[in-house]
Structure 1
Amino acid sequence: MRNRRKPGSRRYKDYEDNLLNIAVELVKNKNISSYEAEKQFGIPRRTIANKVKLKHMKKIGSPSRLSKEEEDKIVEALILCGEYGCPLTRFELRMIVHNYLTKNNKLWIFNDKLPGERWVREFLNRHKEKLTLRSTQNIKSSRASKTITEYEEYFENLKKSLVNVKAHNIVNFDETNLTDDPGSQKCIFKREKNIQIRF
């Protein structure tokens, strides 16, 4: 269970980075004082002053488990999977990362276990400019790409093949009741891209 902030203790970061950047620029250019910036943006004066003096420039929180280069490659792979019509779920992402760590003798990073759900959430948050979660349906891309003309041709051919066939001799059968589709899933896609088809 994660630790909760004690009542009355100092607030942790509760402001957007872009607001901090604006406040720092205003103070650095002497448009306003750090005191005025604190009141206007709700950001502690000490934080603004440190950024102006280029102190404590590292990102808040613990460092990511994987390097930036490794995470960038994972992002590229996730985007490619979505574009090829087979986007990955959060669990599949965990499996792929685990497999990568196994091959590179880095299982110790996650204590020889799969990366957790929390890591996935933080990973997606770090790359929210490129990645997003969307719901999918289990349907083949070939079926989804059929045109109205193709369907009309199918039914015209069906009419011809059913000539002189009595109604009680016509049986319909398809894979509907044999599907293993558990329903819609959430998969990872490139942000601002049309919903992909999973098959």
Structure 2
Amino acid sequence: MAPRKNYTQEQMAKAIEEVRQGQKISAAAVKYGVPRITLYNKITGISPVECNMGPDTILTKEIEMILVKWILYMADNHFPITKDQLLDSVQKIIIEKDQGPSCPFTNKRPGKKWYKSFLKRHPEIAQRTAQNLTKARGDVTEDDLKEWFKTNTDYLKNRGLYDTIMTDPRRIFNTDESAFFLQPKPGRVLVRKGEKMFITAPATKKKILLY
């Protein structure tokens, strides 16, 4: 029986690319966790570069890449996505696709097995324990606040949304009364691989705009 493949196609692709750029096969194999012999065979043409490593994923590669970009974008902006939020989003996508009885998930919501496989397919994402840094609230200066409002105002104007949003009173909420939480509770979140410590955005009780 052939040995089980415990690496992703993306890992192999990155290893192949590094070898093509001059890296040694053995070094690239260790770096990306792929078999040296398999990597050698693909580089030399003994075996095809791309091959089927298992059953098709439930979501297309395009949709998974959208999820990856969303996860990394939210993490870079200090609003990291949790495991449950990711699974909830996938469930909504599956329901909208209306896969019917072909969906293998209970209630069309993926479980631990899919989640682990997703992380293996996208090694650029890692799990980290978030730390809420409420002390940062006291370090915010008036200039910081002005810059924040300027950045968001420019963002809305550049997209032609400023007049629509800023004149709609339904989009203004008081977080004291509405109980909006602008930071997650401490726990495991999804961030860009390489982050040693992750700090979420500080909490606030000021009025905010929901775009």
Q: TM-score, normalised on structure 1?
A: 0.53
Match of 1:100 in 2: 93
Structure 1 residues 51 and 88, CA gap change in structure 2 (3 angstroms): same
Structure 1 distance, partners of 2:192, 2:49, is: 32
Shift of 1:48: 2.9
Which of 30, 33, 37 lines up with 1:43 in the alignment? 37
Which of 83, 90, 110 lines up with 2:83 in the alignment? 90
Shift of 1:118: 1.4
The answer as to whether partners of 2:90 and 2:110 remain within 8 angstroms in 1 is yes
Structure 2 distance, partners of 1:42, 1:95, is: 38
The reply to whether residue 185 of structure 1 matches residue 195 of structure 2 is no
Structure 2 distance, partners of 1:186, 1:114, is: 20
Shift of 1:149: 8.9
Match of 2:131 in 1: 137
**Secondary structure, counterpart of 2:138 in structure 1:** coil
Which of 105, 109, 113 lines up with 2:108 in the alignment? 113
Please provide the CA RMSD for this pair.
Answer: 4.1
Query: Number of matched residues?
Result: 140
The answer as to whether partners of 1:136 and 1:187 remain within 8 angstroms in 2 is yes
Structure 2 distance, partners of 1:94, 1:196, is: 22
1:121-152: CA deviations, max 9, x gaps? 111121112x1111013455xx42533999xx
Letter in 1 for 2:198: I
Match of 1:128 in 2: 123
Shift of 1:78: 1.0
Residue ranges of structure 2 left out of the alignment (5+ in a row)? 21-34, 143-182, 204-211
Structure with greater helix percent: 2
Structure 1 residues 149 and 67, CA gap change in structure 2 (3 angstroms): closer
**Secondary structure, counterpart of 1:137 in structure 2:** strand
Structure 1 distance, partners of 2:85, 2:74, is: 11
Letter in 2 for 1:132: A
The reply to whether residue 79 of structure 1 matches residue 72 of structure 2 is yes
The reply to whether residue 146 of structure 1 matches residue 148 of structure 2 is no
Shift of 1:97: 0.8
Residue ranges of structure 1 left out of the alignment (5+ in a row)? 1-8, 26-40, 151-180
Which protein is bigger by CA-based radius of gyration? 1
Shift of 1:109: 3.0
The reply to whether residue 195 of structure 1 matches residue 188 of structure 2 is no
**Secondary structure, counterpart of 1:135 in structure 2:** strand
Q: TM-score, normalised on structure 2?
A: 0.50
The answer as to whether partners of 1:51 and 1:57 remain within 8 angstroms in 2 is no
